[in-house]
Amino acid sequence: MTLRSPARTVLVAMCLALVAGALAATASATTPAKPKVDGNAAAGKAVYRANCSICHVLKAAGSGGTIGPNLDQVVLTQAKIIDIVTNGGPAMGKAAAKWSMQMMGYKKVLTTAQIQNVAAFEATAAKKS
């Protein structure tokens, strides 16, 4: 059995800390962070059904609209959903493209909380489809 000097023990501990830090940095660089979802997805489902389901397909909401894009096939970030719901979006989907329709913005129809809730619902529901 060999005794270690305090300086050697400190040096080994520092090397282990550096290796652990490098491994943690590599893991976080290769594993994307789970995006934070603000808003109440359960409340957003009701907002979606009342305002979005007539135009969009989203299996989680039981909607089968044919005007806008199928939201089971378009996975967007919550921030992008908030932007589109607030300000409107481009003509997407077969019917919308056919008639050059654009989704209207809902900033004068829904509250900020309702928009965040519907975005939370859409963002989480689309990932499950």
Number of folded domains in the chain? 2
11-63: per-residue pLDDT in tens?
444 444 444 454 455 444 454 444 455 799 999 999 999 999 999 999 999 99
Do 25 and 85 lie in a common domain?
no
What CATH number is given to the structural domain containing 89? 1.10.760.10
Q: What's the domain range around 21? A: 1-33
Read off the DSSP letter of residue 101: -
Mean pLDDT value of segment 114-125? 94
Closest CA to 5 of 16, 15, 13: 13
Q: Please tell me whether the overall predicted TM-score, pTM, comes out greater than 0.85 for this model.
A: no
Are 22 and 81 contained in the same domain?
Answer: no
Same domain, 15 and 54: no
Same-domain check for residues 3 and 49: no
